[in-house]
A and B are shown apart, each in its own frame.
Chain A
């Protein structure tokens, strides 16, 4: 009796009980669909976050003032020096492997044009920010290149700020007030999409860094962004930054984080989240497995005469076991296939509603889902199949 014959016989038996078969297939299908859909969503969330971070620019070293670790001993936590434009200039010039560098100073202020006003984050930076943060200018130009200390009173508007203040009219060349200061609009940023990490660049105004620090009366920068030539330079660059800053401040008082470390952390957090989702979905699979066991137990009880007859015509106990085990496995495999299609449709529907969400079912999840489904069938089909194989032929023929 070849495997094809066993499967053929099992499928025939399943077709003989369509409703029962359909119900237990549905049980497995729901479980598998849940696993597939949740895996896709979890993986999608991970992909989304990673993409968001990448959109901030790649191979970034981010320097911020203050030490993240708690340092004991001194009262008031020791001295923290300001992160100054001088520091920025030295870092940009002296760190090996830096391709671009941009300082960032921030504050929030009301931007006014005529009678309209809008409170918006104000970013003080230099022309390099455009490249480092992968921004694009829709009209006009970005900040003028030149010495970061030169200042100047020009402003680049985020697209939302521009449309709120100017409606459909052209803001280029107009003068807006930010706080008590007057700036000439030189450009409008292209829509950047809502970014949930960092700033929403649609809703900011960008002014020269020196002007921003004066306007907010700040001595320290908020961040210094260093874009390295390649990922290979990140570790070396980070060490060099810490060394240089130690030389300048005589104390370790800056923190350097790499973009990759942040991405990796988020990625692994979301990877764990995906696993948790899958684990929860797997509970429904075990419920489906119990459903299969139940159905197979009923089938064995109902088909005692058939089992007795098969024994009488020369089916061995191993063959009876194989037939019923195969039946359970086929049941589960069909459920797995239906569930895959269902999960895939669910993911498709989700992507249709949230097009920016990169929810795709990874190939490993498809393979794993099918393997798990068949495994569930075999595991939960074993008890009923053994019961069938152990039936006494004479009693089974009598339906007892």
Chain B
């Protein structure tokens, strides 16, 4: 489904160039469960942002479902984020002023889904993460684990082919983290491609495939 060939991502920091990704090659099949591990600053998040079309590679090829992403326009990549990709972040990124329900509805709001359908699908997604009873709570009335489950419902409500999770348990206690991982893995088991970024080797060990990054390159594949 995804193929990265010789991908570079270079930042200009002052007068010097910093290579966040150095000629990286990676392929991810549909339904795969891949963990990207490595120390902080190794380029894991940059790689995830490139895969998620939030960031553009400086050089190299990125093929998503047979299409060259580097040739796409901004609006085409926006459409990809909307339809094909779901993000789960370490810091949840829920809008504090919106209820859980409204937060889950956000992607559909910008995708132009009709109000009634929006409502129904968000309710279903919250049901799927076990938070139907908390639908009308705001994020500050929810626990960390619950917030991340709301974020997962938001990530999958558009039924994307690919879910990208960036340290999804980094801000959670052990039992909440386990719940969140079980949820993500259950969705992967149901066919959704899952890419997980983590610096925790124990979490990475749960994935079907693992790559370890260091200094912008993949140093180990298993």
Residues on A lying within 8 angstroms of B by beta carbon are: 1-2, 5, 9, 12-13, 15-16, 305-306, 308-317, 319, 393-394, 397
Contact = CB atoms under 8 A, between A and B. Distances in A.
B201 to A, nearest CB: 25
A12 B109 CA distance: 13
Most chain A Cβ neighbours within 10 Å, of B49, B107, B109, B154: B109
A319 B106 CA distance: 12
Given A15-B97, A317-B78, 20 more contacts: A1-B110, A1-B111, A2-B112, A5-B109, A5-B115, A12-B102, A305-B93, A309-B95, A310-B106, A310-B110, A311-B54, A311-B81, A313-B106, A314-B83, A314-B110, A314-B158, A315-B78, A319-B110, A394-B55, A397-B93
Nearest to A16: B97
B95 A316 contact: no
User: Which 5 A-B residue pairs are closest in the complex by CB-CB distance?
Assistant: A314-B82, A16-B97, A313-B107, A315-B110, A309-B93
Query: Chain B: interface residue count, which band?
Result: 20 to 34
A16 B78 CA distance: 27
A12 B54 contact: no
- Interface residues of A, dominant DSSP: helix
A251 B89 CA distance: 98
Interface of B: 49, 52, 54-55, 74-75, 78-79, 81-83, 87, 89, 93, 95-98, 102, 106-107, 109-112, 115, 154, 158
Contacts of B115: 5
Given A1-B110, A314-B83, A316-B78, A394 B96 contact: no
A2 B87 CA distance: 24
A239 B79 CA distance: 79
A393 B49 CA distance: 9
Contact of B54 (A306, A319, A393): A393
B103 to A, nearest CB: 10
Nearest to B80: A314
B172 to A, nearest CB: 19
6 contacts: A1-B109, A12-B102, A308-B93, A311-B78, A313-B81, A397-B93
